[in-house]
């Protein structure tokens, strides 16, 4: 079934679609706008959390989530059921990438040589690990200072609980890369908490 | 060949600890890792550190909730479909406000205000497609007995179809810290949910409104009633008056 969706943002800030009214209802007669809200609204908190960690700004996170909602509506025809949260967060993450590009964040635009950096990371000596005291304030700073590609997989894995496969789909990278980034992210965070290498280089 | 080729060396186990933490090990790998951990202090220490890091990352102080009042604009249908979707969209928008923690119900007393929040949240959940009724019937003789065996009380069910408030059915829901009955009436395109459960309280009616929903609450005959709907307040009051009249005439509703 073809859904010719043309989304335009009107001058008075409403969003409307120009789809054929018949096709916008599913068999139960529920309009797409209502289905869309039911799909998206439960995951707005997760969307905001991810956007906030990536942009590191309340106002930018709100803007990104709004953009993500617009984009999700535009692509709603392509949502075929399945994990709505993963679907929405992939769009949020995409909007963050756009935000990064627009804001010319150098760290995000630097090509990240996965091979080269793989060697450096270790989980740390057992003695150091035993000495770890989880200082939430330091952890928060350390997570904020992780490179975005490491930060996003940490948030998606530890806070959102996605599987490796789901994370790979959301960040559009192979599973092996996801595992590698998680290992590096964890290693850096643990090193900061153990007092080694302030700033987690 | 090493007779213990199933044994993991630390360097391999350390790599697998992250997968263990993330629930990504297959059963065979999992057994090998657990066996290694049983005999390796260093790896147990690493595993504990990973677990502690994970818990800490999930701490409330490290997760961001949207600021109060944050409400992204949602698509609205063209005018011709507005009437059809308004009740549902309104309830979903209200649901989004609930999700974002912006909802405040003003009623008397702490327990009451918590019950008020519960019934409003329940109403909004019920507004999602497929969630409104567990038993679908306009016959009170079908709806009332449906609850027996599911609840330790029998809610009074009356029919108000002749007054334009037909019964649509009922369901179990959760409010006031317990499983409760919800009776579903309809007024044109609006649902009126009547939550009933045994409790003591004031017989006088308390009225409140939030996010386009109106709530009427009273207690009588050992049961507490919460009528919740997005019909306009006048109709909700009319519904409640009729309901109370019919209940007074036949307190248990149907047989």
Share of chain A above pLDDT 90, in %: 51
Q: What pLDDT is stored for residue B91 in this prediction?
A: 54
Which is more confidently placed, A57 or A111? A57
> Which residues, including other chains, have CB under 8 Å from residue B216's CB and lie 6 or more apart?
B205, B206, B207, B225, B226, B227, B236, B237, B240
Q: What pLDDT is stored for residue B99 in this prediction?
A: 41
Question: Average of pLDDT values for B224-249?
Answer: 91
Contact B56, A139 (CB under 8 A): yes
Smallest CA–CA distance, residue B137 to chain A, in Å, is 19
CA pair distance A111, A113, nearest whole angstrom: 6
Spatial strand order of the sheet with B190-198 comes to B135-136, B167-175, B178-187, B190-198, B223-229, B213-220, B206-210
Contact A84, A40 (CB under 8 A): yes
Q: What pLDDT is stored for residue A55 in this prediction?
A: 95
Q: B81–A53: do the CB atoms touch at under 8 Å? A: no
CA distances from B31 to B1, B14, B26 (A): 21, 14, 9
Q: Which residues of B touch A124 (CB under 8 A)?
A: 46, 49
Q: Which residues of B touch A46 (CB under 8 A)?
A: none
- Residue that is written with structure tokens 């993991």 in the block: B8
Kindly indicate the confidence band of residue A17, based on its pLDDT and cuts at 50, 70 and 90: very low
| ipTM value | 0.79
* Interface-testing mutation among A29, A37, A65, with chain B (most B C-beta atoms within 10 A): A37
CA pair distance B198, B202, nearest whole angstrom: 13
CA pair distance B147, B156, nearest whole angstrom: 10
Give the distance from CA B182 to its chain's centroid.
12
Apex B77 CA angle, B72 and B81, nearest 5: 145
Kindly indicate the confidence band of residue A16, based on its pLDDT and cuts at 50, 70 and 90: very low
Apex A149 CA angle, A144 and A152, nearest 5: 60
Q: Which of B45, B63, B78 sits opposite A21 (nearest CB)?
A: B78
pLDDT at residue B150 is higher than 70? yes
Question: Average of pLDDT values for A47-59?
Answer: 96
pLDDT at residue A142 is higher than 80? yes
B62 touches A: beta carbon within 8 Å: yes
Question: Average of pLDDT values for B155-181?
Answer: 88
Within a 10 A sphere around the Cβ of B1, how many other Cβ atoms?
4
Range with lowest mean pLDDT among B1-5, B77-81, B121-125: B1-5
A42 touches B: beta carbon within 8 Å: yes
B88 touches A: beta carbon within 8 Å: yes
Per residue, what are the HEC states of A92-134? HHHHHHHHHHHCCCHHHHCCCCHHHHHCCCCCCCHHHHHCCCC
Q: What pLDDT is stored for residue B104 in this prediction?
A: 36
Tens-place pLDDT, residues A169-191: 999 999 999 999 999 999 999 98
* Interface-testing mutation among A126, A133, A144, with chain B (most B C-beta atoms within 10 A): A126
Range with lowest mean pLDDT among A1-15, A79-93, B63-77: A1-15
Q: What pLDDT is stored for residue A146 in this prediction?
A: 96
């Amino acid at each position: 079934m073809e859904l010719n969706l043309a989304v335009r943002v009107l001058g008075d800030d409403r969003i409307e679609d120009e789809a054929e009214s018949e096709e916008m209802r599913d068999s139960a007669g529920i309009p797409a706008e209502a289905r869309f809200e039911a799909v998206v609204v439960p995951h707005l908190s997760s969307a905001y959390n991810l956007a906030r960690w990536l942009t590191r700004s309340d106002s930018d996170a709100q803007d990104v989530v709004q953009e993500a909602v617009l984009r999700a509506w535009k692509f709603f025809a392509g949502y075929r059921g399945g994990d709505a949260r993963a679907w929405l967060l992939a769009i949020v993450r995409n909007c963050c990438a756009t935000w990064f590009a627009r804001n010319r964040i150098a760290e995000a635009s630097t090509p990240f040589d996965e091979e080269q950096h793989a060697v450096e990371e270790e989980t740390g000596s057992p003695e150091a690990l035993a000495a770890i005291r989880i200082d939430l304030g330091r952890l928060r700073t350390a997570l904020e200072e992780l490179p975005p590609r490491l930060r996003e997989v940490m948030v998606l894995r530890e806070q959102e609980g996605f599987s490796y496969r789901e994370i790979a789909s959301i960040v559009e990278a192979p599973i092996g890369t996801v595992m590698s980034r998680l290992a590096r992210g964890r290693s850096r965070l643990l090193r900061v908490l153990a007092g080694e290498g302030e700033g987690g280089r | 060949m090493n007779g213990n080729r199933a044994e993991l060396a630390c360097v391999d186990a350390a790599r697998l600890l992250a997968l263990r933490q993330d629930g990504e090990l297959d059963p065979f790998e999992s057994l090998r890792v657990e066996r290694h951990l049983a005999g390796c202090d260093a790896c147990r220490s690493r595993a504990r550190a990973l677990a502690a890091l994970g818990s800490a990352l999930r701490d409330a102080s490290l997760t961001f909730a949207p600021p109060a009042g944050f409400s992204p604009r949602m698509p609205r249908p063209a005018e011709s479909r507005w009437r059809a979707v308004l009740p549902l969209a309104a309830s979903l928008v209200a649901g989004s406000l609930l999700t974002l923690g912006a909802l405040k119900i003003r009623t008397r007393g702490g327990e009451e205000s918590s019950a008020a929040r519960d019934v409003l949240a329940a109403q909004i959940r019920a507004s999602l497609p497929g969630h409104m009724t567990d038993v679908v019937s306009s016959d009170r003789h079908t709806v009332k007995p449906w609850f027996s065996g599911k609840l330790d009380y029998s809610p009074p069910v009356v029919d108000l179809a002749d007054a334009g408030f037909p019964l649509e059915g009922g369901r179990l829901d959760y409010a006031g810290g317990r499983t409760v009955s919800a009776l579903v009436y309809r007024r044109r395109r609006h649902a009126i949910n009547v939550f009933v459960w045994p409790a003591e309280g004031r017989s006088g009616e308390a009225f409140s409104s939030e996010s386009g929903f109106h709530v009427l609450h009273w207690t009588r005959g050992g049961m507490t009633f919460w009528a919740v709907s997005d019909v306009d307040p006048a109709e909700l009051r009319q519904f409640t008056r009729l309901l109370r009249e019919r209940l007074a005439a036949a307190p248990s509703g149907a047989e």
